[in-house]
Structure 1
């Protein structure tokens, strides 16, 4: 257990920058939550000290960096290669980090990893560290232990986020070995362990050509050969009624969401070939009837 005050102190800079976004710069609260979430996710992925460096910049430059983050997030909503300007749309963020591998194309090619990652950060970090700020900037009164409504959620890509101002003075955090690391675990969006990603998020939908029977073993061999021995968690083929019919589709469950991005490489549908037979792959979307 740690106190709310300790949690806020640990995230002091994140809270500072978020407050500048929504008060000084008058940016939309829902969009600002997404911007902070993607910045935290980037820090976890090796783009270190991004928000810390940003806290020392002028409001004008923070606004520019926020616009660049939004342009990256917009790339997640399209199946088309983004129309990349000469500076690739993230010039100032790249200069701040002294990195050349951050661009709008980075967002496009890592679409599903970023969607899952930002969703986790929103719910595991942002939903807990801005509960006192959001009601103030939105000018609303919220009862304790009741969700804070934020216009813009549920979001088309990231779903809903439950932001609740708790009556308790302490929050419970996961126990890990090495007590001195406990605040680091709570604060870092690394919360995004692969085994914490839902099965649906890690699933691809495969289709096959009629008349060219593809077996489960062929699917496993193809994708383990392409992406590694630990790439495939399971293959669920369409049930067939008799030996005269063939499966026309399957679900490929991966061990890592990053493999899904590697398979599609920004495309909506990717085409593969095994033993002269074609396999088409796209991201699985559960349809509840």
Structure 2
């Protein structure tokens, strides 16, 4: 396994697929048997709150950072091997947070999970810069569009100022017949090209279906690219589409008699979201990426 286990997924510009990348990398590694935690560190404009079904009194990262809850209280099991720590959406809760507490949160999750992905907000502010320095490495996400690439340069500079390091660049929504050199974009940013995610019509369909792309259309080009990226990042074999489908069938057969059962708490103490709630919730999270 790579010595880098905590990754900040960042972009200088919104709408480039940052949250989608976070969700699919995490899901792919979870399918490979790794224990994964996804943390929404965008304290001001949270979008992973939709990843779980939250009631008005549900605990979030905001409560943890204000000292009102533990990390366990705000950790929600999504499915096998993957949990989410969402931020709240209330401005009042945001005002009570102390972003510096994120350091302890990351340290605790690092000890408990194989991989931790920090979904970082766009823009320039303290809570955006802080995760860039806390992570072992930062993954820049951008489309090939000039404006997005330009903003990625700013994020790279912010990472350096925060004392962090950049693992490399992931380009999303790439086109096979484009005359744009993806390697040249990475070279201009003075970083490594980690991978490209091709434009895929099923990506938007997966958002509205409320399912990560690697599960919704596992044999599609974008899903295959995310699995390849996850495998390269972690140095592990990520199950291919056929293996994932076979496991899903077996799981369905084994749990058919338990289909009406909902668990409030996961095996390791994390709160567990009901399957139907997760389906609709992921739609909200990914559509904001």
Bigger radius of gyration among the two: 1
Please indicate the TM-score interval, normalised by the length of the shorter structure.
Answer: under 0.3
- Greater RCO structure (CA 8 Å; 6+ sep): 2
